[in-house]
Amino acid sequence: MKKSYAVCIVGLLWALFNTGCSKEKEKLAPAPVEVVFGVSHIESIDIKTAGDEDFICPLDEDGNLMLPTHAEIVITSSEGVDNSFAPSVFYLSGRLYTQAIKLDPGDYMVTRFRLRAGLDGPVIMSTPATNSPYANYITHGKTVAFPLTVEAYHKLSISTEVLCYWPGGG
């Protein structure tokens, strides 16, 4: 009886060992990475609109400059999938930042970057498109669309530039 009991244990251990060894270890995908945008507002005093009027940021009903509270960001994956984000924005030591968004590691293109007064409020600042007449006021390579590479396990801070938004201005 002892011999059959020992054979069963050996057989069971062999089965467990072979099952465990024959399974390929599942690779866990890296966790999404936090991405924060640091925003620089490019002063728009010298930029003129089509009507030769001063190009100024939108004003509220009291005549005060509107302040951004949210960003509107569209990031396109290398597969062509658009991902939309609407993080809150905040000032830290005089600089504007977005709350972190999370992206899987990979290559992306930032295809829209706007700042709004409210989640669905008016656009008050924006990064112009490469073909916009205002693109020359933004640092080369910072107009939309600009590339973004997210690496696993590395938080990312992206420096962006915005101009005051004028709907007819491109």
Q: What is the 3-state secondary structure (H, E, C) of 33-50?
A: EEEEEEEEECCCCCCECC
Q: What residue ranges do the domains of the chain occupy?
A: 33-169
- Give the pLDDT of residue 45: 44
Q: And the tokens for 40?
A: 């620089």
- Give the pLDDT of residue 49: 44
- Give the pLDDT of residue 48: 44
- CATH class in words for 33-169: mainly beta
In angstroms, rounded to a whole number, what is the distance separating the alpha carbons of residues 96 and 84? 20
- Give the pLDDT of residue 51: 44
In angstroms, rounded to a whole number, what is the distance separating the alpha carbons of residues 100 and 6? 59
Q: What is the 3-state secondary structure (H, E, C) of 136-155?
A: HHCCCCCCECEEEEECCCCC
- Give the pLDDT of residue 134: 83
Inter-residue contact 33 to 156 (CB < 8 Å):
yes
pLDDT tens digits, 101-157: 999 999 999 999 999 998 888 888 889 888 888 888 888 888 888 999 999 989 999
pLDDT tens digits, 28-64: 778 899 999 999 877 654 444 444 444 567 777 888 8
